[in-house]
A = this chain, B = another copy of it.
Amino acid sequence: MHVMEEVSQRLGRFVADQRDVAASTGPIARQLFDAAAMTLTGGKRLRAQFCHTGWVAAGGEPYAEEAIAVASSLEIFQAAALVHDDLIDHSDTRRGRPAAHRALEIAHRDAGWSGSSEDFGVSGAILLGDLLVAWSDDLLEEAVAGHLHAPLVRAEYGRMRRDVTLGQFLDVAQESAWVTQPEAEHADRALEIASLKSARYSVEQPLIIGAALAGATEDQRSSLREFGHHIGIAFQLRDDVLGVFGDTAETGKPAGDDIREGKRTILVAYTRERLSPDAKDRFDEALGDRDLSTDEVHHIQQEMQTSGALDRVESIIEENATAALGVLATAPLQEGAREDLARLAEAAIHRRA
């Protein structure tokens, strides 16, 4: 699949154009553009691939310019989301490199500027995320302006943006709101958040946006929605598992990152269901403690395994994978695209980073 290369080239052209437009604004602006360009390199380009495959699945010509541009605009939006995300999660690394706020902090220090480098990193990253959101819209417009299906594409794009932002907010709030909720609800809340902030955002909407651009039929859209929902849920649960059990060398993030961050995933909800009151108190103590030792992290990983929570999550992942492939088998989609979708689903669910 050459979509990744096509998208990277399109993003490179887009950033170059933006640099030209702002060329007059001097060296400081260049710092912002360098940071922006950095956030647009690397990554799995998963959303772009789902978008392009949705386009092809609905009869679009592979690698068509408008499809690559729309797919690329999704990657710019994702870069924006990650910049703000890393601020919110206090994540200092992204893909093994400094997160945007750290990169800007370093740039401030290297430039010999006055004042707090850390403050500048945070402020700069808030604005960098805002700039990337604006850019994602600009590229989307470049791609769809005057296009027959532009209205539906814009509508689905807007829905994606609202859903992921609300989902992110619920996710952040849940890290502290869980104490006020009946324990029986925790797993459902975690699934609801996974659906909004990830299933819809990362898989379902990219597929639908690509398909909408190609003028997909109602049947095609609804089967892509169903397929995308199952894959998206499995994708997020895999993310939850990797956030706790992932290998640093492959994820580029510290092991047990989600534990120190205190994310209230379904893995956490299932584990707590099986713990004694005392063990549960200690578990809650540890969760969200940024200074947790490696041993303490390891202990929590063990509790998640011995409680059977990990197995339960793995089986939900498999159930969703099976359901998605079931939908695919009878979906009224282009032949080749169906295989691509199965391949992408596999990559999203059984990845190790």
Contacts and interface: CB of A to CB of B under 8 A. Distances in A.
Interface of A: 18, 21-22, 25, 28-29, 31-32, 84, 87-88, 108, 111-115, 120, 122-124, 126-131, 133-135, 137-138, 141, 145-146, 151, 154-155, 158, 161-162, 165-166, 168-170, 172-180, 192, 196, 262, 288
A177 B25 CA distance: 14
A113 B288 CA distance: 14
A37 to B, nearest CB: 15
Q: How many identical subunits does the complex contain?
A: 2
Given A88-B122, A124-B172, A134-B158, 9 more contacts: A21-B162, A22-B162, A25-B192, A84-B127, A88-B127, A114-B179, A120-B172, A129-B130, A131-B166
Nearest to A83: B126
Q: Is the interface of A mostly helix, strand, loop or mixed?
A: helix
Nearest to A132: B165
Q: Which of A22, A169, A174 has the most CB of B within 10 A?
A: A169
Contacts of A28: 169-170, 173-174, 177
B172 A123 contact: yes
A18 B134 CA distance: 21
Contacts of A126: 84, 87-88, 126, 129
